[in-house]
Amino acid sequence: MRKYTSFYTLIGQLKKAETRQAPADQLQFLPMFLKNRTIDLGKIISQKSDLNALLFDKNRDLILKIPLGISSYCSGESSLESKSVRGYIPYDEKTAKISFEFNGRVIQELTIPPVIPSLIIPNRFEKELNQEKVELKWSITDSQKMSFVSKVFFSNTDGKSWIPVGNRTNTNAMEIDTRNLPGGKSCCFAVQISDGYRNARVETNRFSAPEKPPILMIIEPIAGAVLKEGELIQLHGQGFDINSQEPILDNLLWESSIQGKLEMGSSAHVKLRKGKHKLSLRLLETNKDIVNSVEVEVV
């Protein structure tokens, strides 16, 4: 079996027709976006399903038959008229048509456009990005005049990792608030488009962006909580490094406005005296004072 490294994620629903003229079953799915993945295709193909995707080449010769997962939206509910569909379809450059079979009957066919769309981003960024908002634009050239869905991504690791920006869009522009993005020395945006199957992707030029300070989150106790004196109180929180997209669990100090320093760590149990406490979680060993607080009352 050929080894595939790029796969589409198919997400959709299988539902009964609303009219007598329509087929007994219909498959609806979102435009598929291509992504490099490590997937055990042999394991997927060996599974059994009532719904399968059949990949054909231009001569109608079968390339692959891929089982697709079907599940009810509600656990234990099998009588709903629509069901969730999810599966992985490998990218094969020879694919010219995909037939979807349910219980051995073709319920839908997807013809693959022969033309790969061309995508251009006209934005050119300065070496250092200091704008709080950016309007990213892109244009699509396609002789088939297909409709496209676009996704925007951002990388602060020179394209080694990506985070999605905003939601899918049918437009060719997006206003981006850069205050919510991580910083780094080699950043860029990318746009990926899909006509349903055919994809195109392009990246902007590289630029640097200011690194963002970490944020701290206090999960327990919640603000305004009324606690009892003498009882062990759960303290639970953590930090988050926006630039590395990693949690921070070390060098965290819990403090009380009444009792001073309490405990170190993301989680702790403490006893508090009566009174109105301002509980603070502080990140140590940084060049900035990173702290978050909640007010509670102990009675």
Give me the sign of the Cα torsion angle 19, 22, 24, 28.
negative
Residue 80's pLDDT band (cuts 50, 70, 90) = low
Nearest CA to 53 out of 43, 67, 32 is that of: 67
Q: What is the pLDDT of residue 149?
A: 93
Residue 22's pLDDT band (cuts 50, 70, 90) = low
Chain center to CA of 266: 26
Range of the domain at 168: 118-209
β partners of residue 191: 152, 202
Question: Is residue 255 assigned to a domain?
Answer: yes
The residue among 105 and 115 whose pLDDT is bigger is 105
| Distance from C-alpha of 248 to C-alpha of 250, rounded to nearest angstrom | 6
| Distance from C-alpha of 249 to C-alpha of 235, rounded to nearest angstrom | 13
DSSP labels, 133-197: EEEEE-EEE-TT----EEEEEEESSTTSS-EEEEEEESSSEEEEEGGGS--EEEEEEEEEEESSS
Residue where one domain finishes, among candidates 209, 243, 277: 209
Q: What is the pLDDT of residue 19?
A: 57
Mean pLDDT of the chain: 91
Q: What is the pLDDT of residue 287?
A: 75
Question: Is residue 61 assigned to a domain?
Answer: yes
Place of tokens 């059994």: 48
Question: Is residue 1 assigned to a domain?
Answer: no
Question: Is residue 23 assigned to a domain?
Answer: yes
Residue 115's pLDDT band (cuts 50, 70, 90) = confident
Token pair belonging to 75: 């656990």
30-68 residue pLDDT tens: 999 999 999 999 999 999 999 999 999 999 999 999 999
Residue 116's pLDDT band (cuts 50, 70, 90) = confident
| Distance from C-alpha of 24 to C-alpha of 107, rounded to nearest angstrom | 8
Q: What is the pLDDT of residue 288?
A: 80
- Determine contact, residues 91/112, Cβ cutoff 8 Å: no
- Determine contact, residues 225/186, Cβ cutoff 8 Å: no
Residue 225's pLDDT band (cuts 50, 70, 90) = very high
Considering only 78-82, 116-120, 294-298, which range has the smallest mean pLDDT? 78-82
Same domain? For 17 and 105 the reply is: yes
Token pair belonging to 133: 């908002």
Q: What is the pLDDT of residue 281?
A: 96
Task: Please tell me the pTM assigned to this model.
Answer: 0.79
Q: Is the pLDDT of residue 270 over 80?
A: yes
Q: Is the pLDDT of residue 150 over 70?
A: yes
Residue where one domain finishes, among candidates 111, 136, 164: 111
66-79 residue pLDDT tens: 999 998 866 555 55
Same domain? For 197 and 248 the reply is: no
Please state the domain count of the chain. Answer: 3
What CATH number is attached to the domain comprising 247? Answer: 2.60.40.10
Q: What is the pLDDT of residue 141?
A: 82
